[in-house]
């Protein structure tokens, strides 16, 4: 699937991501700034926080209760479209996904 990260400086990074890879791993592999993934995708750091483009929120779904709790401690302000990107997994359904990288 193709994913695009919109960066705080107005730039964009686009990449093809294999199914099953999560969006934190994909961001790190593509040198997306501000997405760190300190805990390796174990829902315990919130350094993989991103904003989902509003057009894609219906497809990515909502955060579960653990992710929801972790979003409260993310460094950048939480918004309605906040997600932890390690909890979004690449699949054909998400082809074209757009994620917005927070300023930290
Ligand atoms: Fe730590 Fe996502 S990588 S919560």
d(CA 24, CA 17): 11
Q: In b/e form, how buried is each residue of 45-81, taking b as 16+ CB within 10 angstroms? A: bbbbbbbbbeebeeebeebeeebeebbeebebeeeee
Note the pLDDT of residue 104.
83
Q: How many domains does the chain have?
A: 1
Domain with 56, as residue range(s), is 2-100
* Cβ of 24 below 6 Å from ligand 1: yes
* pTM listed for this prediction: 0.97
Nearest CA to ligand 1 atom 4: 43
d(CA 98, CA 65): 23
* Cβ of 41 below 6 Å from ligand 1: yes
CATH number at residue 89: 3.10.20.30
Nearest ligand 1 atom, CA 85: 2
**Per-residue pLDDT reduced to its tens digit, 19-48:** 999 999 999 999 999 999 999 999 999 999
- The Cβ of residue 98 has, within 10 Å, a number of other Cβ atoms equal to 17
Q: Which of 32, 86, 99, 102 to probe ligand 1 with, by most ligand atoms within 8 A of CB?
A: 86
pLDDT above 90 (res 15): yes
Note the pLDDT of residue 67.
98
DSSP summary character for residue 7 = P
**Per-residue pLDDT reduced to its tens digit, 53-102:** 999 999 999 999 999 999 999 999 999 999 999 999 999 999 999 999 99
């Amino acid at each position: 699937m193709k994913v695009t990260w919109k960066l705080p400086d107005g730039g964009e990074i686009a990449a093809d991501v294999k199914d099953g890879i999560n969006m934190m791993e994909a961001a790190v592999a593509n040198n997306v700034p501000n997405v760190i993934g300190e805990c390796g995708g174990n829902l315990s750091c919130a350094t993989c926080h991103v904003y989902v483009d509003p057009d894609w929120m219906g497809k990515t779904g909502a955060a579960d209760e653990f992710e929801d709790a972790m979003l409260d401690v993310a460094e950048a302000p939480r918004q309605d479209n906040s997600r932890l990107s390690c909890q979004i997994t690449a699949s054909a359904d998400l082809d074209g996904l757009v994620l917005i990288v927070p300023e930290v």
